[in-house]
Structure 1
């Protein structure tokens, strides 16, 4: 940095337009504080979720299930994302200063921002890093040179539906895209390097999910080692070379996880990283430099936009309240948007037993739920895990239609220490998927 250049000063500098960053910017600015938000790309106003993550992928999923043609679905998705991107920019820009440029640290208080037209130096009393994560691209021969290879962002910009989509990685992102593209009409093959399908999930639930996906025409192969990628002789397709096969693909999705985006010259600061490369933070999300905070994916928080929003609440509590709201002991549900969706909160039966709980369990086939019959979505299984000593709910796994809506009620019950009998006897509206919780917990 040329130290003779003018230094811009502010109370709060937020790097990254993610859920935590944009919400904090608006909150602080409406409190009368000076706020500058720096975002590297015009395509990312609003953050990962809105532009390249949950919203576009779920819009495609909805349109696939609705029977939309692929090209039209991509166009509708782009229209929605453009509108949300602009709305998010306007939301922050109306109350705070937004600068589009690449931010790098000069020292603990100074950040250099390179825009299209100039280089700025910004000094801030407090700095907040909300730069998210980027796709992890494994070091496989040909991955950078072969055609038709995409990450999760690129796969949502395809002009034509691939006849055969190969997905490298059997994690949640890979499975969601597998479900969507199969619905659009692609032949889908999922290659998972591990020997267990969705290893973190309950085995009963995982087995049912695998059968459902296979019934939908999705091939899942375990224990797959990718040797290399190459172009076909006509250069129109990609050959995926594994230990025991060669697959011809019209498109290959690399879904092997995400890495924290720490490309900020943090070596110029006292900020430290964890062993896995995330920014190290305490329960208030302060880094090793107390006036620098990190929020969301880059801080190692669970990679869901609602956890980034909760990180905002943690920082807000520390800045504007008594700091009692922290990341300690927080529970949260999550959903995997396959068809039907898988939604989970708390402990599986196996994990509960490993932690020393005496457990009682119950399962309920989705086919027994009246609303599931109405929706004509009767595939799936529901499972509950209860502490037999206290009757409190330890965990629930819901593989059924509308599970992503139901799971929030269960999470609230767990947070409140509700006994399972209270859920078994709860009065739900009818006909709904939620009323199945009466039957599920009534079986314990």
Structure 2
């Protein structure tokens, strides 16, 4: 059995930088990856989907020039094969960079395959047995495909990116982040799109007015929604089409499409690791339980990224790496609880979020100050002709600190960072309120917004 200083399982946005950081510190690393370098974000998540969204935006622009005085002759169409080629090139370039870095690092030994615990600090991989005092698990997750759907072989967020021909009618089961992004992009590409959601609103975790605004924008582009779907089921028809049962309160009880995308959540890949052999605890959803320093119940074994249930985003996975690297290599004491929840929904216009929703803030019992401004009252948004959405900021009246913000509108995914920085610094909202912002921008309305806060009453 070969012993290393550390074993890293998974090459996602936490595992890869950690492998290089430990190697630079002189540690001998066993680096295990079952499929492809870079994890979900690089291969099937952020990089490919944002490349597709960029292509979809170009299609949108070709059909919306008249209002800006630009006449674009009809006839533009999506070459999905070319869109895919561009996406593949972006991915391959990054993957090759990681691969080259690993091959050229004498402190990293790479193993390709599925790792399995055969003891508390012992891993089996391709017939080899390796051990280390420290083990870092960064195995990510995969789409949740219930058994009743498997025989139908529906599309998921990975397989849909391999299509080279546009679906005639794409039916998406699941009206949350993945479903909405794919729904808007494929509608812009030229497919008919219907989104089926079991709840009464899309992205149910967001405030109701956020969900309603996003749905209204997408409906204006021609995306159809079937909410309150009470008996969702799928079956293949003899003519090659697919029937999705919805039995909603209104409308036809079925939706007939050519392709079905299942976007109903993800599950961690922890079931592949034989964790019970190491005594590592998971919760009922399969996520590895960790403390504030990302250590499992077994000393010396850590879980990072999507598989620990502490965040399902690239930036939280990378922050997990930063926590480990700082604590292990620099003598720090960084914690998971130090970070503020923040994320984006990359529909168009995008949603940038930080901290609490208004619904969550109301439940705290704090005295709140709330400011809201519609995007159609922001000059920069009007000049761009993109006035859907609004800004909202929530402030703790006693501490004067921002505890939540939602920026739904053009540039919202970038504008939110200014608010997040103030929240992280634990400075009062007055710092932004009294600042001078660049004109003309969307951000310049933040001081105005914060200058008109009002006490919130339920």
Alignment TM-score > 0.5, same fold? yes
State the TM-score bracket (shorter-chain normalisation). over 0.9
- In the other structure, the counterpart of 1:107 is 119
Paired residue for 1:49?
Answer: 41
Residues 312-351 of structure 1 correspond to what in structure 2 (within 5 A)?
312-351=321-360
Task: Spell out, residue by residue over 1:267-297, the C-alpha distance to the aligned partner (whole angstroms, 9 max, x if none).
Answer: 1112111232111111111111111111011
Per-residue CA deviations over 1:380-418 (Å, capped at 9, x if unaligned) read 111111222332212111111111111111111112222
Task: Report the Cα offset of residue 29 of structure 1.
Answer: 0.4
TM-superposition CA deviations, 1:92-118 (whole Å, max 9, x none): 33222222111111101211112xxxx
Q: How does 1:23-62 map to 2 (within 5 A)?
A: 23-41=17-35, 44-62=36-54
Q: Against the structure 1 CA distance between its residues 255 and 113, is the aligned structure 2 distance closer, same or farther, given a 3 Å change threshold?
A: same
2:288, 2:188 → 1: CA distance?
A: 38
Match of 2:91 among 53, 73, 81: 81
Aligned equivalents of 1:200, 1:16: Cα separation in 2:
29
Q: 1:129 to 1:248 in 2, by over 3 A?
A: same
What's the CA shift for 1:227? 4.5
Decide which of 113, 124, 129 is 1:121's aligned counterpart.
Answer: 129
Aligned counterpart, 1:200: 205
- Range with greater deviation from structure 2 (94-103 or 292-301): 94-103
Q: For 2:100 and 2:331, locate their aligned partners in 1 and report how far apart those are by CA, in whole Å.
A: 31
Counterparts of 2:101 and 2:225, CA distance in 1: 43
Is 1:430 the counterpart of 2:435? The answer is: no
Q: CA deviation at 1:321?
A: 2.9
> Aligned with 1:386: secondary structure?
strand
1:376 pairs with 371, 385, 394, which one?
385
- Does structure 1 residue 136 correspond to structure 2 residue 144? yes
Following superposition, the deviation at residue 226 of structure 1 comes to 4.2
Q: Residue 167 in 1 paired to residue 172 in 2?
A: yes
Q: Counterparts of 1:183 and 1:332 in 2: how far apart (Å)?
A: 30
TM-score by length of 1: 0.93
Name the counterpart of 1:3. none
Match of 1:146 in 2: 152
Secondary structure of residue in 1 paired with 2:32: strand
| Partner Cα separation in structure 2 for residue 173 and residue 393 of structure 1 | 28
- Which piece of structure 1 moves more, 384-393 or 253-262? 384-393
Deviations 1:49-85 (A, max 9, x none): 0001111011100111012533321111111111111
Separation in 1, partners of 2:231, 2:361? 35
For 1:289-336, what per-residue CA distance to the aligned partner results, in whole angstroms no more than 9, with x for missing partners?
Answer: 111111011111210011011101121233223341011242131100
Q: In 2, Cα distance between the equivalents of 1:131 and 1:218? A: 34
1:383 is paired with a residue whose SS is strand
The Cα offsets for residues 207-239 of structure 1, whole Å up to 9 and x where unpaired, read as 21221111111112221134432222222x211
Are residue 189 (structure 1) and residue 194 (structure 2) matched? Answer: yes
Instruction: From 236, 250, 258, give the equivalent of 2:266.
Output: 258
CA distance in 2, matches of 1:97, 1:59: 32
- Tell me the alpha carbon deviations over residues 165-184 of structure 1, each in whole angstroms, 9 at most, x when there is no partner: 11111111111111211221
* Aligned partner of residue 88 in structure 2, secondary structure: helix
Q: Distance in 2 between matches of 1:125 and 1:419?
A: 44
Q: How does 1:265-414 map to 2 (within 5 A)?
A: 265-414=274-423
Q: Partner of 1:102: helix, strand, or coil? A: coil
- What's the offset of the Cα at 1:135? 0.8
Q: What do you get for the CA RMSD once the two structures are aligned?
A: 1.6
Q: CA deviation at 1:124?
A: 1.5
Q: Deviations over 1:365-390 (max 9, x none)?
A: 11222222333222111111122233
With 98-107 and 374-383 compared, the bigger mean Cα shift is at 374-383
Partner SS state of residue 171, structure 2: strand
Gaps of 5+ in 1: 1-6
Partners of 2:230 and 2:192 lie apart in 1 by 21
Q: Is the 8 A contact 1:358 1:387 kept in 2?
A: yes
Q: Report the Cα offset of residue 11 of structure 1.
A: 0.8
- What do residues 322-373 of structure 1 show as CA deviations (whole Å, max 9, x unaligned)? 3410112421311000110011111222221210111121211112222223
Of 201, 225, 233, 2:230 maps to: 225
**Further displaced range: 27-36 or 361-370:** 361-370
- Alpha-carbon distance in structure 2 between the residues aligned to 1:196 and 1:139: 26
2:201–2:212 contact (8 Å) kept in structure 1: no
Contact 2:80 2:163 in 1 (8 A): no
8 Å Cα contact 2:176-2:204 kept in structure 1: no
CA distance in 1, matches of 2:189, 2:318: 32
Which residue number in structure 2 is paired with residue 4 of structure 1? none
Superposed displacement of residue 430, structure 1: 2.1
Question: In 2, distance between residues paired with 1:427 and 1:183?
Answer: 38
